[in-house]
A = this chain, B = another copy of it.
Amino acid sequence: MDHAFLVDLLGADQFSTAETALAEHATDWGTEDADGSAPDAVVYPDSTEDVSAVLAAATERGIPVTPYAAGTSLEGNPVPTHGGISMNLTRMDAVQEIRPDDFQMDVEPGVMGPAIEEAAGQYGLFFPPLPSSGDISTIGGMIANAASGMQTVKYGEIADWVLELEVVLADGSVITAGSRAVKTSSGYNLRDLFVGSEGTLGVVTRATLELAGRPEQIKGGRVLFPTLEAATAAVADIVQSGVDVAKIELVDAEAATMSNAYTGADLPDQPMVFLEFHADHGIDDEIAFCEAVLSDHDPEQFEIADGERMEDLWRARKDLAPAIDEYDPDRGFRHPGDVTVPISEYGNLIAYAKALAADYDLSIPCFGHAGDGNVHYAILVNPDDPDEAARAKEAHSRIIERAIEVGGTATGEHGVGRGKREYLVAEHGEETVEAMRAVKRALDPTDTLNPGKIFPETADGERVRADDGE
């Protein structure tokens, strides 16, 4: 790629072809093999105008542009598949305006969770849908991947807290999707089309977020169960009984073992459920209601507290990712699972994953946002054992296929990226995927934006242009 045109568009410190920069943009957290995923150049826009200029010029020249931010995606979502330009948006990290009377905040795409929380906190407000990785990921990435998090069970997803987006399209035009009114029925809802489109339809350059008032009362803790079945039944019962939980997370016995080893906690290696409650008053009534619902499921060591004790009780869940990562020196965290199913299928899906683990002789700790029916899991794989790696890949596929069979989704909050493309048709059907492709061709006819993502790979691995498809 001849990148001379970037000299005219951007300042000298706004693009790079240095090997270190290219290598940095060739991976995300889920990348196992960065071969072939380096861009030819990285650009660092400072403004909407920069984004627009680069996109217009790239589209004219047929050069792919892949948006990149914190690199914390898990499915290769921001990793180039066809070289070209990696557009790093982390310099656009301003909190532009807060309108506390409207519970609204305008941010640039590179703003990270802590900056949002700090700015909102000055007015007693917070941004409820932040994902667990919110501390180290950007709002632009969260929007691109349709992220959600532990508090989604009460407050909803990122998509539910985005009011308006400024988006630059592939041709460089700048549009505004949504409204600063809390509801609108004016024209097509392009806003929610861009949310979760993984930078394949446009680049978000400003987001108006909705905020919420901080609850007056916060308490949380955990409960152990004698069996996995009891734990998942308790989760379903809590959700179906309408207990107002702000977080409800499962950690299965295998994950508990890893977590206990990591934290040194004096806890049995049993399934655990972690709970948090938010209220402005009457929180103890809600906790009592929850305890009553739990009582049918043989709970052990149920404890809810506030402050530091709450943090202690939650530690086994909070430290789970490094605990899994470090548990077995020979095995790494592969295949980050993110299937999500209707809550009535939640227990069955987890039981299925555990049965597969036994069948395939694999370690598959399960955890995640139980109240949403969202099952996270990891498959531990020894990279020097190709047979184990193959078994892990197959088990991962079978869990996803089962989730789809029972009416669920391959990916609750991580997006499709490269990693889940092969399941798109199974989940949505050929005609639905073709309608998605038609939307892609309409808004990005030259396939400039993040080619090779979301849609199943073409036979020859080529980008899909508007004139190919019709």
Contact = CB atoms under 8 A, between A and B. Distances in A.
A189 B241 CA distance: 29
Contacts of A432: 175-177, 187, 190
Contacts of A285: 281-282
Given A146-B183, A173-B435, A280-B289, 20 more contacts: A101-B236, A101-B344, A102-B342, A173-B431, A179-B409, A179-B427, A181-B340, A181-B407, A182-B340, A183-B340, A183-B412, A185-B413, A186-B409, A188-B201, A188-B436, A188-B440, A189-B195, A242-B280, A244-B280, A435-B443
A21 interface: no
A28 interface: no
A420 interface: yes
A354 interface: no
15 contacts: A99-B342, A146-B184, A159-B189, A169-B435, A174-B431, A175-B428, A175-B432, A181-B409, A182-B340, A182-B373, A186-B410, A189-B192, A190-B435, A190-B436, A280-B286
A193 B186 contact: no
Interface in A88-147: 99, 101-104, 145-147
Interface string A211-243: 011000000000000000000000010001110
A365 interface: no
Given A240-B101, A342-B104, A186 B281 contact: no
Contacts of A184: 146, 340, 409, 411-412
A48 to B, nearest CB: 13
Interface string A228-270: 0000000010001110100000000000000000000000000
Contacts of A196: 185, 187-189
Contact of A442 (B340, B415, B439): B439
Contacts of A157: 183
Interface string A192-203: 110111000100
B341 A181 contact: yes
Interface in A141-163: 145-148, 152, 156-157, 159-160
Contact of A182 (B177, B195, B372, B433): B372
A420 B187 CA distance: 10
